């Protein structure tokens, strides 16, 4: 007689947006396939969301981590629609779409048509004072320079300097692109960070022409974009990004999954299970002294947490040594009248050569009009990048004091803030080195040979933005469910 199938056990280590997305889609895909699956999410802290954390204070909505996501990246839009919260999205405010560069102590508006630091509107580019005449002439050499024949990886900075010149890297690309990773462009992998630049050179012989073609084709736009996306490069929610975390948690729990807070996986052990016969193959040992059995494990942790948890394999050791950069942000709230009306943008970025303590500043209440009560202003300033980590030794008072001094000097805000919020994000920004994609491939192949039911994913792998993490969580969930279906099918054949 055929026995009733027991549920396959899936354990997800990490309750950030990657882990929650994996849990959501694993439950959904399994249900669609008629496969009994029990999902358990482990989160070592007391809250979910990882680097997404929204707090509300005195009528202000404050993001302590990520503050938005790119409109053009489809995976986040798809998740939001699957969760039924598209109507809660908001775009940038009407006054919040103009941004600036601090250059030689002065503010210069970002030239129109600038896409990820690549000029696509050459007329606007030629008019900007951000780049010298010689720098502009060098950048335009990209239109005639021969393309690189070697298809191997190279540094992002090396690529951009080769195509556009050193001045464009220092004055434009570094403050824009390095801010995403808080990294050194000359150490970041081109293939792992901005492969579209490489594709542009390969297909068009010019990164400028390739990005122009992408713009003209609308290739970088989502299909059927939400209404809130009209004219807005970034999206958030009326009540902050915590909206998507709250809804994910609810959806995961509604699916029957279990979420265990303050519970950490300390070691994964492969046991002599027989997945094809329905017996689990792994034990996930927990910090509380017990363990869970699992047919599949999805690990979404930072790679520096791999030692002790995973086997000592060369590829995993290399990933565990992946550099991470620590950053911080300081939120300042003011009465609107205390902020001089001289600055008309949503914020500005600052290159290394300016020698400033802060790396960027966002006038949050202009960029996102829902974040401050009427008559109030909310600012967020950023601190820390690769090669500039001395700030971690400073006290909270010293960090806030230095930020306030630069805000006073740059924006003319003399008043005491209504309050401030400092968030330290230690080792939060993975920096992908040259060859990173090959490192990932090797590590996953090694792990598949030793622990085939264990899957690694998250911000350390293929993109640090929220849509990238969502995409990776969803893809991993799909892979896991497909493997479990094969196991279940094999077991059914044996029983018959």
Q: Following DSSP, what letter does each residue of 117-178 receive, concatenated?
A: TEE--HHHHHH-SSS-HHHHHHHHGGGTSPPP---S--BHHHHHHHHH-HHHIIIIIHHHHH
Provide the whole-model pTM: 0.94
212 shares a domain with 152: yes
Residue 193 belongs to a domain: yes
348 shares a domain with 407: yes
Residues 155/160/161/167 CA torsion (nearest 10 deg): -130
Check pLDDT > 80 for residue 255.
Answer: yes
CATH number at residue 34: 3.50.50.60
328 shares a domain with 262: no
Q: Residue 52: phi, psi to the nearest 5?
A: -100, 115
> Rounded distance, CA 41 to CA 47, Å?
12
> Rounded distance, CA 356 to CA 360, Å?
9
Residue 303 belongs to a domain: yes
362 shares a domain with 408: yes
Provide the pLDDT confidence category of residue 444 given band limits of 50, 70 and 90.
Answer: very high
CATH number at residue 177: 1.10.3110.10
Mean pLDDT of 57-72: 95
Residue 371, CB-side half-sphere exposure with 13 Å CA sphere: 33
Residue 70 belongs to a domain: no
416 shares a domain with 332: yes
State pLDDT tens for residues 350-405. Answer: 999 999 999 999 999 999 999 999 999 999 999 999 999 999 999 999 999 999 99
Provide the pLDDT confidence category of residue 276 given band limits of 50, 70 and 90.
Answer: low
> Rounded distance, CA 63 to CA 374, Å?
18
Alpha helices in 194-295 (DSSP H): 195-204, 207-217, 242-254
> Rounded distance, CA 377 to CA 337, Å?
9
Check pLDDT > 50 for residue 195.
Answer: yes
Give the model's pLDDT for residue 96: 64
The β-bridge partners of 299 are 13, 456
346 shares a domain with 417: yes
> Rounded distance, CA 211 to CA 173, Å?
15
329 shares a domain with 318: no
Alpha helices in 240-363 (DSSP H): 242-254, 314-320
State pLDDT tens for residues 320-334. Answer: 999 999 999 999 999
* Strand duo 296-299 + 454-456: pairing: parallel
Region of 94 on the Ramachandran plot (φ > 0 left; ψ -120 to 50 alpha; else beta): alpha
303 shares a domain with 450: yes
Residue 107 belongs to a domain: no
Residues 464/363/413/419 CA torsion (nearest 10 deg): -70
471 shares a domain with 411: no
273 shares a domain with 351: no
* Coil, strand or helix at 232: coil
The whole domain housing 279 covers 8-50+241-322+433-495
> Rounded distance, CA 130 to CA 244, Å?
38
Provide the pLDDT confidence category of residue 3 given band limits of 50, 70 and 90.
Answer: very low
Give the model's pLDDT for residue 342: 83
Residue 71 belongs to a domain: no
Check pLDDT > 50 for residue 226.
Answer: yes
**111, 177, 182, 183, 431 from 189: Cα distances, Å:** 26, 12, 13, 11, 8
Which residue, 108, 67, 94, 111, is CA-closest to 366? Answer: 94
Residue 292 belongs to a domain: yes
250 shares a domain with 394: no
Q: Residue 268: phi, psi to the nearest 5?
A: -105, 130
Task: Please count the structural domains in the chain.
Answer: 3
440 shares a domain with 413: no
Query: For the residues of 379-426, what is the DSSP string, one character each?
Result: EEEEE-BTTB-GGGGS-HHHHHHHHHHHHHHHH---SPPSEEEEEEEE
Residue 86 belongs to a domain: no
């Amino acid at each position: 007689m055929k026995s009733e199938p027991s549920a396959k056990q899936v354990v997800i280590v990490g309750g950030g947006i990657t882990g929650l997305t994996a849990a959501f889609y694993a439950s959904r895909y399994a249900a669609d396939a008629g496969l009994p699956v029990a999902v358990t999410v482990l989160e070592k802290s007391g809250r979910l969301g990882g680097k997404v954390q929204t707090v509300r204070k005195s009528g202000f909505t404050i993001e302590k981590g990520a503050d938005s996501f790119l409109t053009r990246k489809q995976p986040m839009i798809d998740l939001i629609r699957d969760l039924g919260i598209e109507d809660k999205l908001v775009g940038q405010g009407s006054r919040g779409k103009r941004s600036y560069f601090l250059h030689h102590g002065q503010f210069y508006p970002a030239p129109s048509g600038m896409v990820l630091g690549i000029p696509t509107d050459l007329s606007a580019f030629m008019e900007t004072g951000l780049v010298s005449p010689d720098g502009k002439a060098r950048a335009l050499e990209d239109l005639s320079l021969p393309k690189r024949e070697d298809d191997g990886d190279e540094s992002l900075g090396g690529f951009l300097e080769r195509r556009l010149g050193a001045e464009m890297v220092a004055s434009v690309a570094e403050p824009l692109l390095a801010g995403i990773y808080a990294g050194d462009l000359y150490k970041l992998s081109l293939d792992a960070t901005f492969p579209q630049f490489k594709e542009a050179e390969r297909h068009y012989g010019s990164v400028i022409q390739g990005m122009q073609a992408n713009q003209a084709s609308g290739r970088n736009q989502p299909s059927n974009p939400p209404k809130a996306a009209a004219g807005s490069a970034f999206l958030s929610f009326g009540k902050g990004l915590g909206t998507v975390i709250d809804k994910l948690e609810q959806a995961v729990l509604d699916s029957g999954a279990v979420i265990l807070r303050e519970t950490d996986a300390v070691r994964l052990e492969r046991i002599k299970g027989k997945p094809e016969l329905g017996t689990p193959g792994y034990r996930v040992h927990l910090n509380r002294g017990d363990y869970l059995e699992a047919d599949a494990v999805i690990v979404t942790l930072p790679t520096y947490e791999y030692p002790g948890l995973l086997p000592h394999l060369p590829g995993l050791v290399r990933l565990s040594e992946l550099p991470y950069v620590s950053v911080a942000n300081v939120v300042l709230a003011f009465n609107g009248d205390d902020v001089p009306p001289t600055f008309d943008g949503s914020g500005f970025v600052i290159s290394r050569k300016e020698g400033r303590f802060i790396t960027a500043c966002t006038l949050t209440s202009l960029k996102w009009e829902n974040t401050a009560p009427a008559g109030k202003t909310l600012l967020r300033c950023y601190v820390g990048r690769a090669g500039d980590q001395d700030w971690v030794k400073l006290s909270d008072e010293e960090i806030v004091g230095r930020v306030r001094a630069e805000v006073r000097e740059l924006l003319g805000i003399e008043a005491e803030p209504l309050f401030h919020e400092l968030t330290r994000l230690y080792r939060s920004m993975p920096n992908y080195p040259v060859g990173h994609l090959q490192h990932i491939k090797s590590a996953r192949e090694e792990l598949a040979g030793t622990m085939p039911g264990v899957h690694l994913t998250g911000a350390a792998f293929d993109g640090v933005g929220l849509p990238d993490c969502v995409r990776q969580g969803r893809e991993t969930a799909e892979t896991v469910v497909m493997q479990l279906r094969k196991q279940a099918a094999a077991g059914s054949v044996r029983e018959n």
